[in-house]
Structure 1
């Protein structure tokens, strides 16, 4: 596995661990229509952490699995900053992991 894909996979596992530690990991998948949103981050149908869990993480894991090229850009950390600003959970670690993922994807 190329180094980029390996590092990205490790970062995605770390993101999952951090979300679980904050109890922001759902045991049930949202309805199919909620996952079919066309809005950025599915803001009309999902909470941000649900978007991470059910759309973002699986999509990036598929890139890793198939050793596919990375998207031209990735900028998810600013949305995480906004999400955690309104919540009592401390999301610093989640934001740091997302900043790393943003850099990995965008710089390669």
Structure 2
């Protein structure tokens, strides 16, 4: 399995888990909210909104275009803290973010 295929699989699992836990939204945030310059858009979006509307689409674009992928990632640290605030069980989702970090840290 190629590195891109592995990453695509992890991203698909994150999306599916967010949908299963009802953390997926039907309506996007405002353009202003998505234009935040803060890491993870912490001043305008929840972590799950950032994942759905910014992180996942960016990775999908990178994969589709064959662009180089980041070689360092620490999304898990943010996910671990942010997911504590969600009213549902999120341990599997948190582990998927760890899988994502590990996938990106693996030499490609």
Question: How would you bin the TM-score normalised by the shorter chain?
Answer: over 0.9
Deviates more, 1:29-38 or 1:72-81: 72-81
Deviation string for 1:61-87 (max 9, x for gaps)? Answer: 111111211113111111111012233
Q: Does 1:71 align with 2:70?
A: yes
Q: Does 1:88 align with 2:98?
A: no
Question: What is the aligned length?
Answer: 107
- Which consecutive aligned stretches of 4+ in structure 1 deviate over 3 angstroms post-superposition? none
TM-score after normalising by structure 1 = 0.92
Residue 21 of structure 1, CA deviation: 1.0
- RMSD of aligned residue pairs (Cα, Å): 1.2
Deviation string for 1:9-67 (max 9, x for gaps)? Answer: 11111000100111100001111011100101101000100000001111111111112
Deviates more, 1:63-72 or 1:43-52: 63-72
TM-score after normalising by structure 2 = 0.92
Q: Does 1:59 align with 2:82?
A: no
